[in-house]
Amino acid sequence: MADHEAYSIVIAGVHRMLYKFEAKKGLKIAFLASLGDTELIQASARELGVLLKPKGGDYLVTSESGGIALAHALSVVLGIPYVVLRKSYKPYMGETLKSETLSIATGALQTLFLDEKDRALINDKKVIIVDDVISTGSTLRGMQLIMQKANAHIIAEAAILTEGDKEQWAHIVALGHLPVWIV
C-alpha cells in the first residue's frame, strides 16, 4: 500500500488521499473508498441534502453496494425514504423489475433488480437517483432504465463525485469531480 500514488481531494470539507490504481492498461483512476468512511458520508449527506432539498423528491434510489451508506445518511437528512436496486435476485424479492446494461469499463453485463415491494412504492413518484461515484454512467443507465419501467419520475441525479468526462456530468448534483489519467 505504501507505494501507491495518491490523489488529494477535499469533499464537503473532508480531506482524503485517494489512491490511484490502473483500472485497465494505460488508464489510472483514483478510488473513492466511501464504504466505512462515516465522516465523509455524513459530511457529504449534509451538503448534498442542502442541494437536493428544493427538488422535492419522494424517494431516493441507489444501487448496491457503493451507494447504500450515502442513501441512508441522505434519507435521514432529507426525511424521505430510499430504495436499493440489488445486483442479484433473491427469492423474497417477488416480482421484480430488471435492467441489463453493459459496463463501459469492463464490457461485463450488469444487472439490477427492483424489489416487488419497492416497485409499488415508487410507482408515479418523484425520485432522486444517488450513487457514491458516477463514472462511465453504466450503472446510472441501468437505474434510469428501471425507473422508466417502474413509472417513477427522475427529478434529479446526484453523487458525491463524478469522474471522467466533466461535461457529460454537468447536470449531476455532485460535490466534486475526479480526473482520470491516461498513462
Partner 1 sequence: MLRKGRLNMADREVYSITIAGVSRELPKFEIKKGVKIAILNILGDTELVEASARELGALLQPKGADYLVTPEAKSIPLAHALSVVMKIPYIVLRKSYKPYMGDALKSETLSITTGAPQTLFLDEKDRHDINGKKVINLDDVISTGSTLQGMRLIMQKANAHVVGEAAILTEGDRAQWTDIVALGHLPVWVE
- Nearest CB to partner 1, comparing residues 22 and 170: 22
Q: Cell triple for residue 179?
A: 480526473
Q: Which is nearer to partner 1, 170 or 182 (CB)?
A: 182
Q: How far is the CB of 171 from partner 1 (least distance, A)?
A: 25
Q: How far is the CB of 31 from partner 1 (least distance, A)?
A: 5
Cis peptide before 8 (omega within 30 of 0): no
How far apart are alpha carbons 56 and 27 in whole angstroms? 39
**Which C-beta is closer to partner 1: that of 88 or that of 124?**
88
Smallest distance, partner 1 to C-beta of residue 95, A: 7
Q: Which is nearer to partner 1, 118 or 157 (CB)?
A: 118
Burial bucket for residue 72 (CB in 10 Å: 0-12, 13-18, 19+): middle
Strands (E), the chain: 6-11, 14-24, 27-30, 59-63, 82-85, 97-102, 109-114, 126-134, 153-163, 173-174, 177-178, 180-182
Min separation Cβ 28 and partner 1, Å = 11
Give the shortest CB-132-to-partner 1 separation in angstroms: 12
Binding positions for partner 1, rule: CB under 8 A:
1, 21, 23, 31, 33, 35-38, 41-42, 64-65, 68-69, 71-73, 75-76, 81-84, 86, 91-95, 115-118, 120
Eight-class DSSP state of 86: B
104 or 120: CB nearest partner 1 = 120
